[in-house]
């Protein structure tokens, strides 16, 4: 169905982990993007029995080494137009405490994440639509320098496909850690050029850093 492909592309574009819908066996998706704070490469691959594996490599500005995340995901429930998946991920990155404790700059940490990913497709007068909810919890497995405990992340997404070559998306990204919150709103437009999509994604912070950003991206599927 048309809305299903829209969901797959729309969710992947704005999330560091695959969304609720699994990628077809043998299919590959790659997304490249960059904005004012860094660049990113995201890839996912569909395995047998609806398993999806993926890799994300992010290079924040001013850093010598990237952050690297690997994940695996699988559906746990399917409805007529909705689906729920579960996934786990492991990330190797520079310690998040470096901002508060500069002497830790360059020190690596490992974090594990677990999440539930819900998605629902629907039809509108102007084309296929979808809604998504991504809920994750993260735990450091190396030293927690600031005693921050668990990190909670919630993403709410919505999208429409008013044209065969155009997808419009919006997302609210919220995270909470040790009493600190961050909320960012992002919109995206993706235009299809054969097997690729060109993507533009402006965003602005509501809670926490409020500077506007503009992300440019390229999606490729084969």
Confidence of residue 193 (pLDDT cuts 50, 70, 90): very high
Residue of 62, 72, 114, 112 lying closest to 92 (CA atoms): 112
Asked which of 178-182, 188-192, 216-220 is least confident by mean pLDDT, the reply is 178-182
In angstroms, the CA 132 to CA 4 distance is 12
Asked which of 7-21, 36-50, 186-200 is least confident by mean pLDDT, the reply is 7-21
In angstroms, the CA 183 to CA 166 distance is 27
Domain around 75: 2-221
Confidence of residue 14 (pLDDT cuts 50, 70, 90): very low
Residues 6+ apart with CB under 8 A from 125: none
Give counts: helices (H), strands (E), the chain: 1, 12
* Number of structural domains the chain divides into: 1
Contact at 8 Å (CB) between 189 and 167?
A: yes
In angstroms, the CA 222 to CA 210 distance is 37
Domain containing residue 46: CATH number: 2.40.160.40
Please give the pLDDT value at position 7. 38
Contact at 8 Å (CB) between 54 and 70?
A: yes
Confidence of residue 2 (pLDDT cuts 50, 70, 90): very low
């Amino acid at each position: 169905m048309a809305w299903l492909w829209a969901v797959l592309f729309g969710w992947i574009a704005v999330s560091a982990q695959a969304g609720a819908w699994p990628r077809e066996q043998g299919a590959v998706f790659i997304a490249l993007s960059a904005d004012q704070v860094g660049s990113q490469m995201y890839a996912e691959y569909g395995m047998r029995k609806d398993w999806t594996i993926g890799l994300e490599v992010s290079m924040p500005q001013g850093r010598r080494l990237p952050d690297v995340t690997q994940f695996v995901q699988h559906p746990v429930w399917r409805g007529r137009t909705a689906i729920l998946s579960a996934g786990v991920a492991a990330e190797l990155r520079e310690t998040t405490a470096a901002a508060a404790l500069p002497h830790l700059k360059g020190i690596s940490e490992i974090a594990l994440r677990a999440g539930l990913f819900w998605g629902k497709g629907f039809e509108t007068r102007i084309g296929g639509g979808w809604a998504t909810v991504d809920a994750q919890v993260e735990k450091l497995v190396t030293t927690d320098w600031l005693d921050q405990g668990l990190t909670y992340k919630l993403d709410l997404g919505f999208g429409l496909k008013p044209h065969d070559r155009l997808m419009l998306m919006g997302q609210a990204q919220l995270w909470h850690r040790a009493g600190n919150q961050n909320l960012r709103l992002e919109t995206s437009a993706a235009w299809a050029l054969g097997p690729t999509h060109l993507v533009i994604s402006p965003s602005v912070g509501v809670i926490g850093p409020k500077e506007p950003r503009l992300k440019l991206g390229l999606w490729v599927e084969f």
